[in-house]
Amino acid sequence: MEEVWPFAIGGAVLTGFITLVAVGLHVLIVIWCYKVGKRKGQELVGLLLGIFLGWIGLIIVYVLPDESATNTPIQTYGTGQTVKCPSCSRMAPAEGRFCPYCGKSLNE
């Protein structure tokens, strides 16, 4: 039965190789999920979805709403100071006299 051994070893190596490829692919998907999630300001959600759901998680991360766009107020121009609009409650630049969102005066 000596000729069985090369096949047995070959089978074990093949199984190990397939496992390695599967794990490697999963790690890649998790990293991908993390990067897509990070771009949307939800890197933790992306990471967890990638770990638990694999490529399905990746699809979910892709369709997730972009939180980074809504969570980032206008803070890059002027002094960077913002005031809360008395009319629409959104953050507007402090040096502006009118709210850029609703057009109402900020000094009311």
The binding site for Zn ion (CB under 5 A) comprises 85, 87-88, 99, 101-102
Sign of the dihedral through C-alpha 94, 98, 99, 105: positive
Beta carbon of residue 24, minimum distance to Zn ion (angstroms, whole number): 51
Q: Pick between residue 82 and residue 87 the one whose CB is nearest to Zn ion.
A: 87
Q: What is the 3-state secondary structure (H, E, C) of 3-26?
A: CHHHHHHHHHHHHHHHHHHHHHHH
Residue with tokens 């809504």: 70
Token pair, residue 19, equals: 């496992």
Q: Pick between residue 49 and residue 99 the one whose CB is nearest to Zn ion.
A: 99
Beta carbon of residue 76, minimum distance to Zn ion (angstroms, whole number): 19
Q: Pick between residue 39 and residue 84 the one whose CB is nearest to Zn ion.
A: 84
